[in-house]
Structure 1
């Protein structure tokens, strides 16, 4: 028969202390590296966000991190935590963080998993103090109930969840590496700095306005869209939210709209390039998707979009998706977009751009290389999503005590 775990509190099992208050006008001492809220991500420390601040000898004794300390965000994303593993030979922590140090050997890997479990389960709001910014004060944090499995069971749960965390972090690093490689490929291939084998002909200037026509769009609000009508609808928000520059409209889940609302809308075709025509973020200027398939019932360009149909003899299918990453295209858009808070792209602006481009055969070859890079990243993203789902399921079972691991003395 499974025995329930005893219950302790965070304060009974951990020393909990807030870090150093940083004040550039008052702080004196020796310049030392410190970890702040931004550097603490779920399960890892972002060393690029480590700062430097002057600390006194007293500060150095009081706020120096040790291997195995658990750092927890007191504000922002409350409860977000990471274990310090001597990523730097010497480091300190600032006031926006709680430093947790076990009193009686409580497994910090289990504690970190519980923090994430509490965060996703909406537990922290019961202990948060809300002023102008929500935060988790020490006096409330240390009173939080904490399950107390045996040391062996703590270690086993911590080990299992750490294995999944290690897989997740490895996948994240692989994605970041692949993204850096993809960015390099885009920079080299889309500018002609690097040419693919078999291609050496001169690139020529292409005035986009000479080879483009535009498809009529229809502006519908989200409230006018549904999930049952047959015709698919491309909304600018969905363009901004996606990573892939290709839109498989026949297979992907898209909002839909009643045909009675779409009388004046043009129908998209394979090879059409659909831009989001507004962005609040400069990085979103020129964001677009190339349509790679269309359903029999049709798909239409929607609110705040520009649907461009380029001549295929000038711009090859597959290559158009990568126009948004051509440096000269992006630089021209950024120079000409109108607006302050909201940056707007127009048809005339797109038509005014002149680019230096290879012939369509080389365009297809470049698109093939870049599409392969996109696919590699997409596959890794799927693996990452599955690993996160596995972790979520494990936490729900193991951290609630519903499933107990064998070999931990958890049954009687």
Structure 2
């Protein structure tokens, strides 16, 4: 591939000629223990945890740009005995096993030091040459994540080690340009953080609204009638799906068919409405399953139990779902009731190889039901809240896409800020 003047081909792709392409081991501080992993398993066990002291960085503390969250602690004495495994502000922490690709910066101001667990590795950088925020942006970019994943050891549970970490390469512009790139990307991170907080707040508000409206604790203006307690089986005909056997036979499936085959994964990644399925049934498959018309309310009863969804396409359901037909209630109201009680299903379901619900339990479940006009009004309020959340989530996805495009330009030097 021809490289345009002023650029060069490197292990991380084409970058400006004046940029370097060092390994982590070349960018680490010259001090001892600049790149280390966690202590040996027997050196840090749950019995070492105390109420306060030096925080321990575990996988659940690595979900954001900075190490954060609920920590467990070890005593100062224990931390001193494991001083080689300590991380300090502005160090980078990488996950070694578990959720590979997690990278976080140790923050300033919270604690003087942190102990990394057996599942993490830390890097102390030569900061006069390398900005940890720049390396964080690179290793959370698509290119950096690909390097982490493709270099991992795939036997058993995918994992990595210090040798692999030290060999990671990254593009390294001069420090002033690193900082300019970090500043530009941090502005977008600020937008994303604001959207994340707003979405979380809206979700909390919706949960509170469901608590109040679906239980009658708060009544919408103009509604005063009494509510009834009814069994689900009294307000719907609840029928379980059917699966053609053997389920993996190719004769049941046809990608050109207009009839979808609903799988649990189709439901778990969708919202209120099912718009598509990953598989489609042949006419023979439809004959041996349970067809469900567009606009039906279905619910998963196996594995992910109690997840309701309204179909927007013609589908068939297997015996891991039920369909609610002949409704004597507002469909969207019932959908929100099912969403509200979804977390409770697992307390009453049957356990085997997978959690599951039987139709007798579902039929006998009691819910509070207001008059139909109030049902519709409640469903409308909650639907509007869902609509607001959907707009914010779409905005967040667009902002994430914008950041990825910016990273592609700035972290390769295609667009220069200095």
> TM-score interval w.r.t. the shorter chain?
0.7 to 0.9
- Counterpart CA distance in 2 for 1:316 and 1:269 is 17
**Does the CA contact (< 8 Å) of 1:236 and 1:302 recur in 2?**
no
Q: Is the 8 A contact 1:234 1:302 kept in 2?
A: yes
Which residue does 1:238 correspond to in 2?
266
Query: CA offsets, 1:276-307, max 9 Å, x none?
Result: 1211xxxx32111134x45xxx4333452211
Change beyond 3 A, Cα 1:262–1:156: same
- The aligned runs of 1:106-255 (5 Å cut-off) are 106-117=130-141, 122-124=146-148, 127-128=151-152, 133-214=157-238, 217-219=241-243, 221=247, 224-242=252-270, 244-247=271-274, 249=275, 252=276, 255=279
The aligned counterpart of 2:315 is 299
Relative to the length of structure 1, the TM-score reads: 0.82
Shift of 1:63: 6.4
Q: Are 2:37 and 2:162, in contact at CA under 8 Å, matched by a contact in 1?
A: no
Note the residue ranges of structure 1 that are not aligned, 5 or more in a row.
none
218-227 or 97-106: bigger deviation: 218-227
Q: Residue in 1 aligned with 2:20?
A: 6
Alignment size in residue pairs = 389
Structure 2 residue runs of 5 or longer lacking an equivalent are: 8-16
Which segment is superposed worse, 70-79 or 123-132?
123-132
| C-alpha displacement of 1:148 | 2.3
d(CA) in 2 for partners of 1:58, 1:336: 48
Q: Relative contact order: is structure 1 or structure 2 higher (C-alpha 8 Å, sep ≥ 6)?
A: 1
Say if 1:215 and 1:268, in contact at 8 Å, map to a contact too: no
Structure 2 residue 111 is the aligned partner of structure 1 residue 83:
no
For the aligned residues, what is the CA RMSD? 3.2
Q: Which residue number in structure 2 is paired with residue 399 of structure 1?
A: 411
Q: Per the alignment, do residues 47 and 235 of structure 1 end up closer, same or farther by CA in structure 2, a change over 3 Å counting?
A: closer
Displacement of 1:358: 0.9
**Deviations 1:120-155, CA, capped at 9 Å, x for gaps:** 653235654567654433343223333221223212
SS of the residue 1:46 aligns to: coil
TM-score under structure 2 length normalisation: 0.81
- Structure 1 stretches (4+) deviating beyond 6 angstroms? 26-30, 60-64
Does 1:367 pair with 2:379?
yes
Q: How far is the alpha carbon of 1:112 from its aligned partner?
A: 0.7
> C-alpha displacement at 1:92, in angstroms?
1.2
The 5-angstrom pairing of residues 19-98 of structure 1 reads 21=39, 22-24=44-46, 31-48=53-70, 50-56=71-77, 58=80, 66-86=88-108, 88-95=110-117, 96-98=119-121
SS of aligned partner of 1:356: strand
